């Protein structure tokens, strides 16, 4: 039962609350990245579905650029949040809120194929 409770805590408040030791923290972070990887193929299907025929590579490149721009800003924003009074807990709360917002937007968005402009 304790394992189920930790899974519930993991989904409610992030890995820091479920980790009792550094080894468990690494375990939970590994689990979260594994779960993240399950959805990666669905995310990459979106550019090919909305791109005009013959232009999926260009749309995928822009999609990749915008997605990887977060990799540039993420450590900077995390460092700024950690330096405030909120510390690492604040950074993890921001991460959870942004992840939930992204999931909500992904679930409610309507995708239609773009028509090329000549």
Query: pLDDT digit string (tens) for 49-67?
Result: 788 888 888 888 888 888 8
Measured distance CA(42)–CA(40) in Å, rounded:
5
The distance between the two most distant Cα atoms of the chain, rounded to a whole number of Å, is: 61
Using CA atoms of 74, 80, 83, 84 in order, give the dihedral in degrees to the nearest 10: -120
Averaged confidence pLDDT in the chain:
77
Cα torsion for 92, 96, 28, 67, to the nearest 10°? -100
pTM of the model: 0.51
What ranges do the domains of the chain cover? 2-108
């Amino acid at each position: 039962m304790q394992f189920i409770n930790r899974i519930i805590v993991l989904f409610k408040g992030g890995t820091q609350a479920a980790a009792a030791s550094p080894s468990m923290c690494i375990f939970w972070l590994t689990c979260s990245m594994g779960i993240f990887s399950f959805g990666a193929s669905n995310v990459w299907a979106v550019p090919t579905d909305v791109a005009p025929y013959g232009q999926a590579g260009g749309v995928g490149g822009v999609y990749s650029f915008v997605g990887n721009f977060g990799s540039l800003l993420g450590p900077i924003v995390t460092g700024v949040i950690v330096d405030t009074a909120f510390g690492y807990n604040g950074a993890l709360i921001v991460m959870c809120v942004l992840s939930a917002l992204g999931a909500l937007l992904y679930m409610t968005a309507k995708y239609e194929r773009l028509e090329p402009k000549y």
